[in-house]
Amino acid sequence: MSTEDLLASSASTWREHGAPNPDIPDVLRVDTSVPLALRLRGWRHRRDLRAARARDFYQASRSPERGLPVAPDSDVVAFIRAMLGKRRAVAVGLVAFNALAAVAGLLVPRLLGGLVDRATAGGASLAEELDGIALMVVGVVLVQTLLTFGARRISAVFGQDMLAEAREYVVRFVLRLPLSTVERASSGDLVTRVTRDVSTMSGAVRWALPQLVIASVMTVLTMVAMFLNSWLLALPSVASMLLLGIVARGYLRKAPMGYITEGGTYSQINTGLTETVEGARTVEALRLQDHRTGRTDEDVEVSAQAERYTMTLRNQMFLTVDYAYQGPLVFIVLLGAWGHSHGLVSLGQITAAAIYVQQLIEPMDRLIQTLDRLQVGMASTTRLLGIAAVPQDREATGEQPVGDHLLAKDLRFAYREGHDVLHGVNLDLRPGERLAIVGPSGSGKSTLARLLSGINAPREGKVSVGGVDVMELPLAELRTQVALVTQEHHVFVGSLRDNIVLAREDTATDEQVWDALRAVDAVEWVERMPEGLDTLVGSGKQVLTPAQAQQVALARLVVADPHTLVLDEATSLIDPKTARHLEGSMASLLDGRTVVAIAHRLHTAHDADRIAVVIDGRIAELGSHDELMALEGQYASLWRAWTS
């Protein structure tokens, strides 16, 4: 079969078994060619169906089978309460300054109302009072301006301070995530949570929360001023507030599910796009461009349906809000006319009430807008706090390893229940031994490496170092014992030196850094860098090739100095000649350490003390190169295929 035929066969298999399943019922796809009246008839059904989809997603997000959970709303309330508790003085100042600014602003309508009453009463002293009233109004406005400035400043400090702590909280828990959980969760979900959700939460903490305080204070004090002016003329605004309360309660009951569903669909879009970008060459080789484009279109359509639901909730609320803003003014005029005719209210009170109700629109509008933004922020915060809710996958017992002996007994492991990928693997590694693990792709080599390094816990069996289960050691302690290096790597923004001494930045010397670079054959290109070890690398700085980045990762490992190294195809991105030199120099440098190397280049296995051949999750053969060649078994076949 030709290469073209093989590619076509692979592409066909992928399209048959890997194609995305349509997730949008036909009833939700609106046919714009039909008359508007027919489309409107199905609107309620579509809304209810979208609500059901949001409810199902919301419930599933609480304890997902895979991926990261979403925290309950009570955790968000407790989180905000804890942050506010640390800033009681600032919070009190925020409320006090806004209350004083509101009171100053509410004096002007009363002054104008009194002026109207005196004008209607007549008298020669009116002209003389105008100058005094004008000066009072100017004074009140100036005082209100100063108080508002102070309130805004406190609001900015309050919001930024809370934002800083919230971000530190999120980063702290992201870094504490068990690596096994990070591997199970989709990259798109984690990326969305630490980018889009952090940004949304930032807006809520920095802007919406202080604005909620300001709008609430203004609304309450304006209502108090209206009652002090005339309880009768305050009744339309009370009715308006009750109506808004009922509508807001219904909105707040449904909105969290909608916004959490929105966030989940953004994660799905990011996951699909990340997979497509990272696998671009595979997509092109298998001619799957249309398939991946279709997958993205499907994800975007699912997200659009989630956004339509939240948009419907907002539209329904805003319809009532518009009436609540304008209705009270009409009723104040009608009720005021009736009350004035019966001697219950004066024209000045009617004037003041009309001004108050107009003043009330701005804080009420801000309150409603803030509630909406807080719902979005709260949904994002529940997704972020869900990271903190992920349980640790290990429990430290305090027991300390005695010696460097790494032992694996009867290891069994499954990524999906009932589908083991390792079946009773046993390994007894002698301290200082170089063990190579070989086998066909998908045989379980990398899974075994992850268990040996304590990334994942076995379903059954145990991996111990120095007599202590690796899952009972704190990560900080474990990484001084056993370290895993894979073909994946990361270059952090900073100097080359900073990137290499991460594990021992307080104790590592430049001499140790150069020794590590020499061990991984990286001295030559580092010396050519503009500023040597001080050269800034990472995003937006000096760009490293994949091979250079992997050499930096290996140098980082040398400086960390664990007694046991697990190398999972750690030289796969380096050209064969460089890899050969690198592996040889590491072998001499790491003399006395235990090294487990997942080898996809069999010359690595040839240099090892022992070779474990993994076939279908079992160790089929174990011995030195010469011993396994003499067996004429699986390893001998792999070696001949490699050397031919």
The pLDDT value recorded for residue 126 is 57
Residue 63: DSSP 8-state: S
Domain 70-389, second-level architecture? Up-down Bundle (1.20)
- Extract the residue ranges of the chain whose pLDDT is less than 50: 1, 3, 6-7, 16-22, 124
Domain ranges of the chain: 70-389, 406-643
| DSSP states of 582-640 | HHHHHHHHTTTSEEEEE-SSHHHHHTSSEEEEEETTEEEEEE-HHHHHHHTSHHHHHHH
Which CATH code is given to the segment(s) 406-643?
3.40.50.300
The pLDDT value recorded for residue 412 is 92
* CA trace torsion 321, 324, 329, 331 (10° rounding): 150
Whether the model pTM is above 0.85: no
- What three-state secondary structure class fits 480? coil
Distances (CA, A) of 561 to 119, 344, 501, 564, 618: 90, 88, 11, 9, 30
Residue-wise pLDDT for 225-243, tens only, equals: 888 888 888 888 888 888 8
Direct distance between the N- and C-terminal alpha carbons of the chain, in angstroms, rounded to an integer: 20
The pLDDT value recorded for residue 82 is 84
Residue-wise pLDDT for 615-634, tens only, equals: 988 999 999 888 888 888 88
34 CB contacts (<8 Å, ≥6 apart)? none
Tokens coding 416: 């999906």
Residue 26: DSSP 8-state: G
The percentage of the chain sitting over the pLDDT mark of 70, rounded to a whole number, equals: 86
The pLDDT value recorded for residue 590 is 65
328: closest CA among 452, 241, 432?
241
465: enclosing H helix or E strand: strand 460-465
